[in-house]
Structure 1
Amino acid sequence: MSKIEIKNLTFDFDTMASLLFDQANLVIDTQWKLGLIGRNGRGKTTLLQLMLGEHAYSGTIKHQVEFTYFPQKITDKAQLTYECLQELSMFALWEMERELNLLQTDPEILWRPFDSLSGGGQTKVLLALLFVDDQYFPLIDEPTNHLDMTARQQVADYLKAKKSGFIVVSHDRGFVDEVVDHVLSIEKSQLVLYQGNFTTYEEQKEKRDRYEQEQNQKLKKEIGRLQQSAAEKAEWSRGREKDKQGKPTEKGSGAIYDTGAIGARAARTMKRSKAIVSRMEEKAEEKKGLLHDIEDVDSLTINYQPSYHKQLLKVEKLQLSYKEQPLFSPISFEIEQGQRLAIQGANGSGKSSIIQFLLDEFTGVASGKATFAHDLSISYVRQNYEDNTGTLQEFAQAHHLSYEELLNNLHKLGVERKVFANRIEKMSLGQRKRVELAKSLATPAELFIWDEPLNYLDVFNHEQLEAVIQSVQPSMLVVEHEATFLKNIATNMIYL
């Protein structure tokens, strides 16, 4: 049994910004199947890179195991997959075939050019490479990208069956729930380790946050009571000091009280007042230690415009084909106001093609028909949004959006205000995805069509979207592989 020991880890890319890690300490057992979670930009991938020695840092990271990382970089994707993998690591053919069989993938995939494989196929062969040699400790960064539900389950089953440990980063709650036995959360001010899966983490995190909020409220009330009591005693003491000076009488002026007794009582009261102030300062200091790691997850807004039409879309016996090869059997469905239809199916089954057909963007052959309600307004989240360019203000004007509403939702989705000055094409992939999503949320629409909206979003964003959809109940057509999200928002599902 070996350990990964992190001591006093301090790191940030920009010394002018707040630190990503500040004197962080952690011990990881290499037998653990550890889920690494946290908001985007919090440093999950960076922590893996630090363990790999890719950045300079302060502190120490001690380990007796050698690390291997997913996804590995393929330099020449036109080569056969087997040759690409051989350039990354030495292995026996039978070892790779064994791992691919465990992933329920035909080893014949090794003899195809790497760039001819689907995203899911590329993911599987690179994952298999991690485990052909058990001398290495796998660091797995977002393995569920490009995987459909079936492939995600295959990968989950594969990782669950492994006796060796690993660290995995994923925003798919159901996937993490299945494969991990420990969770490391990168929170606002610290690293917090939880024993259990994602459900255990959520329960314990909620309890801790609720306890801190309750303690915060108690301390606020206590500080308020102490402030009032200290003020009253100080005021009484000052009043008694005036009494020592005496009050005017009909025959003149002079002291009519026992000034010695008054002075002693005033002194005692003032002393009690100072003691209360001291207690109040202690409570205020105690209060400072609370609420640092409660996430600021604000409610999103969606510009849903309920239609006066009951039925928004009707699809009858639709079948799509490429080169005379049907993508799926004929299907029929309809969407009425307030319904949210989810389309599910394996990669390549035609989910996105249905959306393209509905929006007059399908380039293959179609039979059947689709009928929209008259003048139906639609808001669309695309899988590919590289044509989003310019400043956010220019972008809002070009799409006839409220600039304020666009920025408001972007900030709530976790995009820092300093990023607002950047051109969209210069933003990270996660930030650009949030721009596409914020655009859709701000677009007034009777029907929202979202094609894989959760790519590059963190778990907190998933929950934000679920909350606004459950609250507003918009009409939607959604393609997505994240089962938990669909379970929480869809009213109807069809399978291709």
Structure 2
Amino acid sequence: MGNIELKQVTFGFDNQAQLLFNKANLTIDTSWKLGLIGRNGRGKTTLLNLLQGVYPYQGTITHDVSFNYFPQQISDDEQLTYDVLSEVTTVEIWQIEKELQLMQTDDAILWRPFVSLSGGEKTKVLLALLFSDHNHFPLIDEPTNHLDQQSRKHIAQYLKDKKQGFILVSHDRSFVNEVVDHVIAIEKRQLMVYQGNFATYEEQKGRRDQYELDQNKKLKTEIGRLKQTASEKAEWSRGREKEKFGNRHVAGSGAIFDRGAIGARAARTMKRSKTLVRHMEDKVADKEQLLKEIETVDMLTMNYQSSYHKVLLEVKNLQLAYEQPLFEPVSFQLTKRERVAIQGANGSGKSSIIHYLLGMFTGQADGEVDMPSNIRISYVRQNYENNVGTLQEFANEHHLSYETLLNNLHKLGVERCVFNTRIEDMSMGQRKRVELAKSLATPAELFIWDEPLNYLDVFNREQLEQVIQLVQPTMLLVEHDETFLDNVATQIIRLQHH
């Protein structure tokens, strides 16, 4: 058991106007099973990198453990998986094989090129590598990406049974809820620790947010009243100033005025009135500083174009193979405004079906597929590392409205200060949202999304659910999040291993 302590830690990237952390403090026990929570782009992965000493920062970070980070960097994915792992660890291969077996994964994948593995298989191999190392404190960044439901359950059980502590970043609420006993939340550039799981954190944060909303409402009412009073005082002050220079002698009255006395009295009155106005304005400023910054989620827009085709896709007895068939023959139909979800175990060929439909599959195929040749498709890819350049260049390259792209990005939680950052320099969550914002802005009759929720926070998932339910687009989906599919899918196709 040890401690990790951050004192007055301040950090921000040079190319971003706003700091990610501002004099943040944190003390945690390394026996805790910690979930790291925060909106994308707010610094979750950056915090893990700061713990590892990747970036220079202000303040101090002390710890009596050494760290192991997931996902590990792979230098040459063309090599056999066994050779890839041998380059990044000294752990015996039998230990990795044991971990793969615990995840119910055939260790034969060690003898395939790493590049040929599915997203889920790559995740399992790298998790097996992480779990084989018992000498370091694990920093686990998005382990559920690409994993099917059964695999998520295995990983969750593994982490629950694990006696060692860890820090976990995941967008899967139920997964985090099941495995953590403490939560670190990144809130307003500070680090807050909550005891309990994600549900406990959400309940506590919900109560606090509601309290702050109520306080904001009261403050705004009071600010309005103070501003009205300040306006009335300012008007009164201007009236007193006019009196100072007004008519001091009324013709025919015989009254004689002491012009000096009147001027002095008017000057004192005007000074008091201006002091009152300043006092009221100061009170307004003080009250405005008490207003809390509350997280809000805006509705996205989706450029769906209704097709004149009633049936956009018909698949009959389709079977794909790389030497061996990936799945049993499958048939389904996708009609206008339907949303068909393809489910199956990792490596069962879900993404291969999408690649085949888009003309990118390199294996063998059997069966029939009928899809209109001129249909406009918007595609969200699992791998989007080739998205590079500025957002303006990106919009031009894809013939998108730059304004619409930025608008959806901001609604997805990308702060405006990031808009000048090159895409390749963004966080993985921000880069994923660029890919999604591109798809949302692309005029299309059919949206094909391959694991759209990877790297996204719960706010984004709810936004996508809302816009899909509102627009009712025609979609083909591959996604493992059952809650999301329950809310958006009209039909589910389950692939069976051959």
1:127 partner letter: L
Alpha-carbon distance in 1 for matches of 2:437, 2:16: 29
Letter paired with 1:494 = I
CA displacement, residues 288-342 of structure 1 (integer Å, 9 cap, x when unaligned): 24333x335433211112334544333333333343x332222222223322111
The one-letter amino acid paired with 1:486 is: L
Q: Distance in 2 between matches of 1:56 and 1:390?
A: 25
Asked whether the equivalents of residues 396 and 406 of structure 1 are also in contact (C-alpha less than 8 Å), the reply is yes
Partners of 1:13 and 1:132 in 2: CA distance = 34
In structure 2, the partner of 1:486 is: 485
Residue equivalent to 1:123:
123
Query: Would you say the 8 A contact 2:240–2:269 is kept in 1?
Result: no
Post-superposition Cα deviations, 1:79-135, rounded to whole Å, max 9, x if no partner, equal 776676566555567655554443333456667676665544443344344444544
Superposed counterparts of 1:61-210, under 5 Å: 61-74=61-74, 91=91, 96=96, 98-106=98-106, 118-132=118-132, 134-210=134-210
8 Å contact from structure 2 (residues 392, 402) kept in 1 = yes
Matches within 5 A, 1:181-330: 181-232=181-232, 235=235, 251-252=252-253, 254=255, 278=279, 281-282=282-283, 284-292=285-293, 294-295=294-295, 297-323=297-323, 325-330=324-329
1:56 is matched with 56
Cα distance in 2 for partners of 1:489, 1:415 equals 24
Distance 2:427 2:117 in 1: 25
Number of aligned residue pairs: give it: 493
Aligned residue in 2 for 1:442:
441
Note the C-alpha offset of 1:495: 0.9
Aligned residue in 2 for 1:451: 450
| SS across alignment from 1:9 | strand
Give the distance between the partners of 1:80 and 1:332, measured in 2 at CA. 34
The gaps in structure 1 that reach 5 residues or longer are none
Partner of 1:351: 350
Alignment of 1:297-446 (within 5 A): 297-323=297-323, 325-372=324-371, 376-385=375-384, 392-393=391-392, 395-397=394-396, 399-415=398-414, 417=416, 430-446=429-445
Q: Structure 1's 254 and 165: CA in aligned 2 closer, same or farther, altered over 3 A?
A: farther
| Alpha carbons 2:240, 2:270 under 8 Å: kept | no
Q: Distance in 2 between matches of 1:278 and 1:92?
A: 73
Distance 2:378 2:113 in 1: 38
Deviations 1:373-417 (A, max 9, x none): 685433222334466566655554554433332333234334455
Distance 1:400 1:114 in 2: 34
Question: How far off its partner does 1:222 sit?
Answer: 0.6
CA distance in 1, matches of 2:396, 2:53: 44
Matched with 1:19 is: 19
Letter in 2 for 1:409: N
Cα shift at 1:152? 2.3
Aligned-partner SS, 1:317: strand
User: What SS class does the counterpart of residue 444 from structure 2 fall into?
Assistant: coil
Structure 2 unmatched ranges of 5 or more: none
Distance 1:360 1:227, change over 3 A: closer
Calculate the TM-score normalised by the size of structure 2.
0.82
8 Å CA contact 1:343, 1:480 repeated in 2 = yes
CA spacing shift, 1:298–1:252, aligned 2, 3 Å? same
SS in 2 for 1:301: coil
| RMSD, aligned α-carbons | 4.1
Indicate how the Cα distance of structure 1 residues 306 and 116 shifts in structure 2: closer, same or farther if over 3 A, else same. closer
Residue 25 of structure 1 deviates from its aligned partner by 0.7
Change (3 A) 1:488 1:127: same
**C-alpha distance in 2 between matches for 1:135 and 1:38:** 28
Partner amino acid, structure 2, of 1:8: Q
| 1:313 to 1:120, Cα distance in 2 relative to 1, 3 A | closer
Change (3 A) 1:254 1:63: farther
Once the two structures are superposed, residues 147-203 of structure 1 have per-residue CA deviations (whole angstroms, 9 ceiling, x without a partner) of 333322221221122122110112233322222222212233322223333333333
**Within 2, Cα distance between the matches of 1:298 and 1:215?**
22
User: Equivalents in 2 of 1:15, 1:356: separation in Å?
Assistant: 36
1:227–1:331 CA distance, 2 compared to 1 (3 A): same
1-structure distance, mates of 2:362, 2:237: 87
Moved more, 374-383 or 237-246: 237-246
TM-score normalised according to structure 1 size = 0.82
Paired with 1:111 and 1:237, the residues of 2 have a C-alpha distance of: 86
